């Protein structure tokens, strides 16, 4: 799902109070972003009921990118309880994205529930 300045609070901040929201900060001209996007979508799809993936075009929505200090793309930021909690910069292979989701995103949720 694409988010905009108008929908960011609802689709990311509020939604992250229910489950982790992974924000892919990207731009159309960015080659590594185009490589990362499909891998993120595939790995997020495998965990569809436990996290949500959204995309934010930094060229179209510079206010949000500036708010979170995004200086390099691709940047992936995970929001939980309305706050950014973890993330990474750069294009990773699908296997590492899956590990990141399982260990850094969902592992924290499992520990909190215990």
Kind of pairing, strands 75-80 and 21-26?
antiparallel
Q: Is 30 annotated in the active site?
A: yes
What is d(CA 16, CA 34) in angstroms, rounded to the nearest whole number? 25
What is d(CA 89, CA 80) in angstroms, rounded to the nearest whole number? 18
Q: Is 33 annotated in the active site?
A: yes
Catalytic pick from 3, 21, 23, 33?
Answer: 33
Catalytic pick from 30, 44, 53, 64?
Answer: 30
Active site (catalytic) residues: 30, 33
């Amino acid at each position: 799902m694409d988010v905009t300045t108008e929908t960011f609070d609802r689709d990311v901040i509020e939604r992250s109070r229910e489950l982790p929201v992974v924000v892919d900060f990207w731009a159309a001209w960015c080659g590594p972003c185009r490589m990362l996007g499909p891998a993120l979508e595939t790995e997020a799809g495998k965990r569809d009921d436990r996290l949500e993936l959204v995309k934010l075009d930094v060229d179209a929505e510079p206010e949000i990118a500036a708010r979170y200090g995004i200086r390099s793309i691709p940047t992936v930021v995970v929001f939980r309880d309305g706050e950014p909690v973890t993330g990474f910069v750069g294009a990773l292979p699908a296997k590492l994205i899956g590990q990141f989701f399982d260990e850094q995103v969902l592992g924290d949720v499992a520990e909190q529930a215990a």
